[in-house]
């Protein structure tokens, strides 16, 4: 047949195979299989996006307060040795996470927030969630959201880890003079607090709950709210570092 003839036969066989493949793909029993494959690819794509949404976001760069803004008295907050130092100059001040937004704080609804915390002796502070800029008294305490208490004082009966004035702990489970890890989780109406991986709070906000008038705003916001670190008073010094969050 010769070289040309051999090559021609190979070409014909190739064409026939390609034709058979097209016919196979278009056959009634293969079409449903391809639909299943497409659905599986779609699920994998959605799963990949979900994993991306669950990734940790670092909130503090360890160098300066970029991404953070105080509601009042910005001098109450500084960066010392890679940590945020909170020490109020007068009344209480709060450092809000604003991210790249220069206009207002960022809102977080369902999330897991982690940070490392340490204090000087006889100090008071807190981490606020689902909060905003409104205050409730002359001391400029925040009016909205929940406070996770941080406290190394003897006089304050609500100890570290308390969901302040909602679920209070009468004994601190950590030594505040040493670095300890705080994890705050919000899912729907459920709030959980872990200190050094030990759960100390598991609270679900009841529907229609009414708070005392002084703390009427101590509620979760359906649209989420800000995250803020408290500088409580001139005699209190707390340090924060390794701050990160992931949303659900």
Regarding whether 86 and 136 lie in a shared domain, the answer is yes
Per-residue pLDDT at 22: 47
Residues 78 and 90 placed together within one structural domain of the fold: yes
Q: Give the domain range for residue 165.
A: 57-247
Predicted local confidence at residue 19, as pLDDT: 47
Domain termination site, one of 53, 75, 90? 53
Q: 199 and 171 in one domain?
A: yes
Coil, helix or strand at residue 187: strand
CA dist., res. 149 & res. 158, Å (int)? 7
Band of residue 14 on the pLDDT scale cut at 50, 70, 90: very low
Report in angstroms the alpha-carbon separations of 229 from 70, 149, 222.
9, 11, 21
Residues 116, 194 share a domain: yes
Q: Do 13 and 62 lie in a common domain?
A: no
Helix (H) or strand (E) holding 146: strand 146-151
Whole-structure pTM value:
0.79
Shared domain check, 171 and 150: yes
Q: What is the pLDDT at residue 49?
A: 44
Q: Are residues 196 and 222 in the same domain?
A: yes
Q: Pick from 158, 139, 162: which is nearest to 71 by CA?
A: 139
144-184 tens-digit pLDDT: 999 999 999 999 999 999 999 999 999 999 999 999 999 99
Number of structural domains (the chain) is 2
**CB burial of residue 158 (10 Å; 0-12, 13-18, 19+):** buried
E strand residue ranges, 173-236: 180-187, 190-195, 198-204, 226-231
For the chain, the distance separating the N- and C-terminal CA atoms, rounded to the nearest angstrom, is 70
- Same-domain status, 40 and 75: no
Pair 35, 152 in one domain: no
Does 70 share its domain with 11? no
pLDDT in tens, 85-127: 999 999 899 999 999 987 789 999 999 999 999 999 999 999 9
Strand order in the sheet with 124-131: 68-70, 93-97, 226-231, 124-131, 146-151
Specify the higher pLDDT residue, 4 or 235. Answer: 235
For residue range 221-242, what is the model confidence (pLDDT) as tens digits?
A: 999 999 999 999 999 999 999 9
């Amino acid at each position: 047949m010769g070289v040309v003839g051999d090559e021609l036969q190979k070409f014909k066989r190739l064409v026939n195979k390609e034709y058979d493949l097209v016919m196979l793909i278009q056959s009634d029993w293969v079409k449903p299989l391809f639909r299943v494959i497409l659905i599986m690819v779609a699920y994998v794509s959605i799963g990949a996006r979900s994993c991306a949404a669950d990734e940790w976001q670092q909130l503090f760069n360890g160098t300066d307060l970029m991404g953070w803004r105080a509601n009042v008295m910005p001098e109450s907050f500084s960066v010392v040795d890679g940590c945020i130092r909170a020490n109020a100059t007068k009344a209480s001040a709060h450092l809000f996470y604003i991210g790249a937004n220069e206009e207002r704080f960022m809102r977080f609804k369902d999330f897991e927030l982690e940070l490392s915390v340490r204090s000087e002796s006889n100090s008071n502070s807190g981490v606020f969630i689902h909060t905003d800029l409104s205050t409730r008294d002359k001391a400029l305490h925040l009016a909205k959201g929940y406070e996770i208490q941080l406290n190394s004082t003897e006089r304050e009966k609500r100890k570290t880890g308390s969901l302040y004035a909602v679920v209070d702990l009468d004994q601190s489970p950590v030594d505040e003079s040493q670095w300890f890890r705080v994890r705050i989780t919000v899912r729907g109406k459920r709030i959980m607090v872990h200190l050094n991986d030990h759960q100390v709070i598991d609270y679900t906000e009841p529907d229609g709950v009414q708070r005392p008038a002084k703390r009427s705003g101590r509620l979760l916001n359906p649209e989420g709210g800000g995250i803020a670190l408290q500088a409580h008073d001139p005699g209190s010094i707390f340090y924060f570092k390794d701050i990160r969050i992931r949303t659900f």
